[in-house]
Structure 1
């Protein structure tokens, strides 16, 4: 049961989206309004509204005779997502390099150090490591001072997290990610937008390759 706080549709939206990310709701599964209503303890109206929001944001698709179905995050769809993410990440880091301050650098260095320690420990759960990764990137987004970019990347990264749950299980990839983040950090420390762009573009290329190699979650 969920707490009955207004507006219900946003609560339902977040619960279903979290379920998609953690695998509770598998690709191809139909979202039944009656079942969800009974499970979550709310009427079918906010369930229907939440499903419409999920469809709008790309989490579900509407199929004839079946209704709302969890989207299959196949290689083509993930590739399309990563192309958009790459463009936004590059834009964010370019602006960040222009706006960098010592205060922000201190925070980004701290986040990098947290991730470095996680790589050394090797037993950090994948979801926790992904959260560390997102915090590093989020610090860069905030430096860009572009609220629209931040909003777009938030939803994109939620989707890509579904693939990342498998793609970042490898200790080797975690080490590579750390090295790539170090290059981004170096560029920010130098306040060099072009170097930051190059470092982030390389990081996104390697991330895309890894997702395509390890994540086939359409089954």
Structure 2
């Protein structure tokens, strides 16, 4: 017997259960086959993106598929797919009949992103000071030490990485997942803009970090927000100053 809910009673025959299961299976909509992951394509994308962020590939540089494929030890296909994805995300410009070029950020693009970063990270510092623990402070000092070492070693890539790590940790301390997601969206762009000024900001930036850590450790949320705002604004000003100086040198050349 079958009840009104469509289930079969314990006494239903095996054949009846099989017919019912088959009918249910036929009524389901067909699904698209699951796509298999493509780790090589993702790996090529990640490597090229990092080469752009670290300025190994300079803004405006022509990206030749054959050369990148040979450098990375892969075929042209994953390189082509990576460049198309990078183009859709604004890292690369694809020009008809000319090929792919690293995107050259405009003054307005940089200013808008760095201004947004200031707003987000100011709030993250305020919240971090409210939620700080002894373990947080210990980790902040470790990250500060890594930055100090990169500075003394004159290691630009290390400075960029250490700066990003320290700021990301402050964000994680905030406990605000939405804020963390928003900051993560701009993190790679910030590292891209920060790379050219990492060494010129140098000692000043890491002194500002040290002061920020002490204020966060003291649970002074208002002061932490103020210091983070000033810190990120100085980075923004330094970026624009460097661009201005570069434009002046180019005009004189």
3-state DSSP of counterpart to 2:93: strand
Structure 2: runs of 5+ lacking an equivalent: 1-36
Question: Aligned residues, how many?
Answer: 211
Q: Is the contact between residue 66 and residue 76 of structure 2 (CA under 8 Å) also seen in structure 1?
A: yes
2:44 to 2, 8, 12: 12
In the TM superposition, residue 175 of structure 1 has moved relative to its aligned partner by: 2.2
Q: Distance in 1 between matches of 2:197 and 2:154?
A: 14
Superposition TM-score, scaled by structure 1 size? 0.78
Matched, 1:46 2:78: yes
Question: Using a 3 Å threshold, how does the CA distance of structure 1 residues 64 and 84 change in structure 2: closer, same or farther?
Answer: farther
In the TM superposition, residue 137 of structure 1 has moved relative to its aligned partner by: 1.1
Partner residue, 1:143 = 173
Matched, 1:187 2:215: yes
Q: Is the contact between residue 156 and residue 195 of structure 2 (CA under 8 Å) also seen in structure 1?
A: yes
Q: Is the contact between residue 164 and residue 191 of structure 2 (CA under 8 Å) also seen in structure 1?
A: no
Q: Is the contact between residue 30 and residue 68 of structure 1 (CA under 8 Å) also seen in structure 2?
A: yes
Question: Which one has a bigger Cα radius of gyration?
Answer: 2
3-state DSSP of counterpart to 1:137: helix
Structure 1 consecutive aligned stretches of length 4 or more whose deviation exceeds 6 Å: 216-219
Q: Please, which moves more after superposition, 78-87 or 156-165? A: 156-165
In the TM superposition, residue 195 of structure 1 has moved relative to its aligned partner by: 1.6
In the TM superposition, residue 193 of structure 1 has moved relative to its aligned partner by: 2.3
In the TM superposition, residue 63 of structure 1 has moved relative to its aligned partner by: 3.5
- Give the 5 Å matches for 1:19-168: 19-33=51-65, 36-37=68-69, 39-116=71-148, 119=151, 121=152, 123-147=153-177, 149-154=179-184, 156-168=186-198
Higher relative contact order (CA 8 A, sep 6+): 1
Q: Distance in 2 between matches of 1:20 and 1:118?
A: 20
In the TM superposition, residue 38 of structure 1 has moved relative to its aligned partner by: 5.3
Q: Distance in 1 between matches of 2:121 and 2:109?
A: 18
Q: Is the contact between residue 125 and residue 174 of structure 2 (CA under 8 Å) also seen in structure 1?
A: yes
Q: Please, which moves more after superposition, 123-132 or 148-157? A: 148-157
In the TM superposition, residue 205 of structure 1 has moved relative to its aligned partner by: 0.8
Q: Is the contact between residue 147 and residue 158 of structure 2 (CA under 8 Å) also seen in structure 1?
A: no
